[in-house]
Amino acid sequence: MSLQDRLYEDMKKAMKAREAGKLRLSVIRMSRAALKNRAIELGHDLSDDEAIEVLAKEVKMRRDAALEYQRAGRQERMAQLESEIKILKEYLPRQLSNNEITQLVREVIDSVGANNERDLGKVMGVLMPKVKGRADGRLVNQIVRDLLKSGSE
């Protein structure tokens, strides 16, 4: 079953659950709309990889917004966004742990011969396709920077 089919089936279940499935239904509808918009932009039906990319972007947008709400002291809105992120993550591949990301970063640093922070672009260019949809880009960037700093010292 494709990711989009799974979203459709889960949307039907959430509709049947009425009040209990309200947030879930809302998140699934927003996700399906984002997927449809992206398909229209590209001019073709999305593959599962493209759909995962869209959903990962939705998670990132909510994370960024949650940080802003936290800074503004709007805890209830932040909590809602965290709930939405939790629902969206159910449709994404398992996220890589920090150790797994660190291991991948070390492999890429060795393969491209990076030895200082000026090589960040080279490392990120090779690394990001490998972790796409499975790790937060900010976290990956931070780990790469940390390892490149420690390597150049």
Same domain flag for 35 and 82 = yes
3-state secondary structure of 17: coil
Domain shared by 11 and 35, yes or no: yes
- Residues 65, 12 share a domain: yes
**24 with 87: CB under 8 angstroms?**
yes
CA angle 77, 81, 82 (to 5 degrees): 115
Range of the domain at 125: 98-152
Give yes or no: residues 8 and 76 share one domain.
Answer: yes
Global pTM? 0.73
Q: Which amino acid is at 103?
A: Q
Phi/psi region, residue 96 (left: phi>0; alpha: psi -120 to 50; beta: rest), is beta
Q: What integer is the mean pLDDT of 74-89? A: 90
Is it the case that residue 152 has pLDDT exceeding 70? no
Domain identity same for 83 and 103: no
Verify that 83 and 50 share a domain, yes or no. yes
Count how many domains the chain has: 2
- Tens of pLDDT along 86-103? 999 888 888 888 888 888
CATH of the domain at 7: 1.10.1510.10
Question: Exposed e or buried b for every residue in 104-117, given b needs 16+ CB within 10 A?
Answer: bbeebbeeeebeee
Structure tokens at 107: 């492999």
Q: Give yes or no for residue 40 having a pLDDT over 60.
A: yes
Strands (E), the chain: none
Let me know whether 132 and 63 are in one domain. no
Q: In this predicted structure, what is the pLDDT of residue 73?
A: 87
pLDDT score of 28:
92
Question: With pLDDT > 90 as the criterion, what percentage of the chain qualifies?
Answer: 23
The per-residue pLDDT of the chain, averaged, comes to 86
